[in-house]
Amino acid sequence: MTLRALVVDDSQNMRKSVIFALQKWPKMVCVEAQDGAEALKKMTLGPIDIVLTDINMPLLDGLKLIAHIRQQPQWRVVPIVVITTESAEEDRARAMKLGANAYLTKPVQGPDVVREVKRLLPGKFK
């Protein structure tokens, strides 16, 4: 079974870092988007199993992206991991209230990303 992860960040280096960590599984396919608007377009092109997003991005930020995803019935159960520099508890609480499933603060290490993805997609990695 192929898994598809949508990695959303305006920093190409950050996207590449997250993708590098995730592609250690041969069945993981990563789709990239540089902001929330592009991410929403990519979600309509095929199934997405998990979204990993930054908060601070141009056009459509990560919080608005989370809200848009959770408003769509077909995407309500897609796990969302926030990866951001915003470390204040109120930022975390806001993201989680909007529907994020996990919140990681940058700088983040590959194993931390992998741990959250495994937790949110149980039984998918063997």
Give 34-54 pLDDT, tens digit per residue. 999 999 999 999 999 999 999
Q: Are 112 and 71 in contact (CB under 8 A)?
A: no
| CATH for the stretch 3-120 | 3.40.50.2300
Q: What is the pLDDT of residue 126?
A: 60
Q: Which residue has the higher pLDDT, 1 or 90?
A: 90
Query: Domain boundaries in the chain?
Result: 3-120
Question: Which tokens hold the place of 47?
Answer: 């199934």
Statement: residue 125 has pLDDT above 90? no
Token pair in block for residue 73: 């019935």
Which candidate, 101, 100, 106, 125, places its Cα nearest to that of 114? 125
Residues 92-111 have a mean pLDDT of 95
Q: Which residue has the tokens 């959250």?
A: 116
Mean pLDDT for the stretch of residues 54-74: 95
Averaged pLDDT, 21-37: 93
Residue 10 clears pLDDT 70, i.e. is over it: yes
